[in-house]
Amino acid sequence: MVTIASFIFVLGILIFIHELGHFLVAKKAGIRVEKFSLGFPPNIFKHKVGDTTYCIGLIPLGGYVKMAGDNPLEETAGAPDEFLSKPIAHRAAVIFAGPFMNYVLAMVVSFGLFAFGGGEFITDPDRVMIGQIQPDSPAELAGLQTGDQIISVDGHPVSSFDSLRYRIYAKPAQAVELVWLHDNDTLSTSAVTAVRPLRNAEGGVDSVGQLGFTEMTLGRVQYSLGEALVQAVNDTHWKVAATAFFLKEFITGNISSKAVGGPIFIAQLSGEQARRGAYALFNLIALLSINLAVLNVLPIPILDGGHLVFLAIEKIRGKTLSIKARTWAQQIGLVAILGLILMVTYNDIARLFLGY
């Protein structure tokens, strides 16, 4: 239930903000909006206010804003409140508003996290201190307790959590010799690590060792409102750059298609982050909002970026593309999107049942 509820919550926010951008700018431009829908039919809610019918669909995998005269393949009346009757700049603003609102959402969420939740965790820079211990984990069975300090693993001194993780990861389902401090007493034992699946850059899964405890934290770095704003701007732009880099690497084949996930993967992530707390869940929302913004501005027909390309061509030529050209372009875009959907769906199912 946590996974389902968090998935609907996360996706609902992302879709609502995206479509709200289209809706608000369309209204501002004097375009008649016929329908505002969250989710796809069958509808579980439907209510008309003025010219607009507001809907909530049972399938929460998207949404749309239907504007009067927004489809050049359909017959239009040429009324002044129709989408195609507006200047190119107004139409471009309406289209771009969706991805831009996702960018704004990420910025606002990041600002809230930094301003009220703080930044990165503060940990002891010179010692490996044990935080939370998972029940029935190798760490608990070995007698480790919260507040203990790990001194060495297999005779190798460890002074940072990264150095500890490096040695434990390398020995899945194997015995490791641990030495630690507990209330000024030096203790030692042998513990057999658990096996944890860890996704790699190629989209596959590696098996790594795990003892089952987290590093003790001493709170988070606190920021003033001004510092939080700077951190939010930097964090949001880092997410944009990271998303663009991932797409480039994926398109050029440097990243496996297995690394791409769909709705089921997002649901799993949402559930995992929700269990970790509100901070982790909203950080995921900020990341996914940037992902959605960047993906939507790709120059692929049927996406917002594809429509912007059509408008740019119209501006250069002084007239719209022919119906035939637009139809062909949209069909190509549809095939590309359907191919992507099939790929991510296969990946999601494979993760669930094949474990990769």
Supply the residues annotated as catalytic: 19
At how many degrees (to 10) do helices 263-276 and 2-28 cross?
110
Contacts of 216 (CB under 8 A, 6+ apart): 123, 124, 129, 130, 131, 146, 147
Q: Are residues 288 and 344 in the same domain?
A: yes
C-alpha of 228 from chain center: 21
* CATH number (domain holding residue 142): 2.30.42.10
Of 199, 352, 203, 197, nearest to 265 (Cα)? 352
Q: Are residues 79 and 109 in the same domain?
A: yes
CA–CA separation, 294 vs 245, rounded Å?
11
Domain assignment present for residue 231? The answer is no
257-315: pLDDT as tens digits: 777 777 777 888 888 888 888 888 999 999 999 999 999 999 988 889 999 999 999 89
Q: Are residues 104 and 133 in the same domain?
A: no
128-179: pLDDT as tens digits: 999 999 999 999 999 999 999 999 999 999 988 889 989 999 999 999 999 9
49-63: pLDDT as tens digits: 988 999 999 888 788
Domain assignment present for residue 232? The answer is no
pTM of the model: 0.83
Q: Are residues 106 and 144 in the same domain?
A: no
Domain assignment present for residue 194? The answer is yes
79-104: pLDDT as tens digits: 889 998 899 999 999 999 999 999 99
Domain residue limits at 292:
2-118+252-353
Q: Are residues 202 and 281 in the same domain?
A: no
If one counts the domains in the chain, the total is: 2
Domain assignment present for residue 314? The answer is yes
